[in-house]
Structure 1
Amino acid sequence: MTLFEVSTAIAAAPRRVFDVSLEVETHTASMGGSGERAIAGVTSGRLRLGDTVTWEARYFGLRWRLTSLISACDPPGYFVDEQVKGPFKRWRHAHHFEPDGHGGTVMRDIVEFAAPLGPLGAVAEVVALNRYLPALIRLRNEHVRAVAEAGG
């Protein structure tokens, strides 16, 4: 299992960043390069505690489906999404939103994941996923930052 953290400074209030981060449309727009889209569960609008959404996307030339559950939510401080069905042996993504003391937010993403397939999955984590997934989260966060800072 792998754990990593990504911190992103955003010039918007924690509540704004929290709300933007739970919008299905923000997520799909941030993952445009993979064609990611919501195909089941909550497919538009803002996710809430107990909601599930099934995402479909193309990564590494393969089509993937992942169903996640918003398993914890305490606005505007944090929420957690966890895979309930999909390609990972484990996927847990905690999103934290902390005031920066200047009217902005420090958004911290803490991701725990494990690839399937035992030793073969462990090799995939070392060879590809340990670099690819943090870069994917940073890409997503840049989009969240742009949307949150644009206001509205």
Structure 2
Amino acid sequence: MKLYKIVTVQHINASVEDCWDFFSSPINLQTITLDTINFQIQDYDGKRMYHGQIITYTLKPLFGIKMSWITEITACQENEYFVDIQQYGPYKLWHHKHFFEPTSDGGTKMTDIVHYVLPLGILGRIINRLVVKNKLKNIFDYRYNKIEELFNSKK
């Protein structure tokens, strides 16, 4: 089993509270996700992130193949962090931590740490190298740029 890790850090020109308000709303995940993935929330309770929350959605991450994904929020501390894991979906393991830290300039340092494992053993490693790693990079690059546009392009 090969465990992969993605870390992104972004400085946001908004308070931790404003960042939390945006990122703790599951509906905003659609705003910061590539349109080509066709991300659609299927069900959630309409509440802000909380420990134990279940969110279900569909997406087309590779080759236009529609997939279901069920996420559970396994840890949550308002204005500080939340952790989501894939309970059902394409990965053998998907564990995503989101941290929000105030900065001295009144902004926020947002850190995302994703650990993931693909199924299929050695074949999964090959698929990661050829396809998944680059697809995830594109997804997180888009997210970074969209957040820049939403929060950091205002003067």
Q: Give the TM bin, normalised by the shorter chain.
A: 0.7 to 0.9
Aligned residues: 150
Distance (whole Å) between structure 2 residues aligned to residue 52 and residue 147 of structure 1: 26
Distance (whole Å) between structure 1 residues aligned to residue 11 and residue 72 of structure 2: 26
Q: Who is 1:79 aligned against? A: 82
Unaligned runs of at least 5 residues, structure 2: none
How many Å apart are 1:150 and its aligned residue?
8.9
- Once the two structures are superposed, the pairs formed by residues 3-152 of structure 1 within 5 Å of their partners are 3-31=5-33, 32-42=35-45, 44-60=46-62, 61-148=64-151
Output the TM-score relative to the length of structure 1.
0.88
Output the TM-score relative to the length of structure 2.
0.86
What secondary structure is seen at the aligned counterpart in 2 of 1:47? Answer: coil
Contact map agreement 1:67 1:86 (CA 8 A) in 2: yes
Q: Which amino acid aligns with 2:68?
A: R
How many Å apart are 1:54 and its aligned residue?
0.9
Q: Calculate percent identity across the aligned residue pairs.
A: 25
How many Å apart are 1:19 and its aligned residue?
2.2
1 or 2, which has the higher strand percentage?
Answer: 1
Distance (whole Å) between structure 1 residues aligned to residue 130 and residue 27 of structure 2: 31
Residues 105-143 of structure 1: CA deviation (Å, up to 9, x unaligned): 111100000111111111111222222213312322433
Distance (whole Å) between structure 1 residues aligned to residue 142 and residue 48 of structure 2: 20
Residues 1-33 of structure 1: CA deviation (Å, up to 9, x unaligned): 101101111100112112211212211122233
Distance (whole Å) between structure 2 residues aligned to residue 5 and residue 132 of structure 1: 15
Distance (whole Å) between structure 1 residues aligned to residue 148 and residue 18 of structure 2: 10
| Root mean square deviation, CA, Å | 2.0
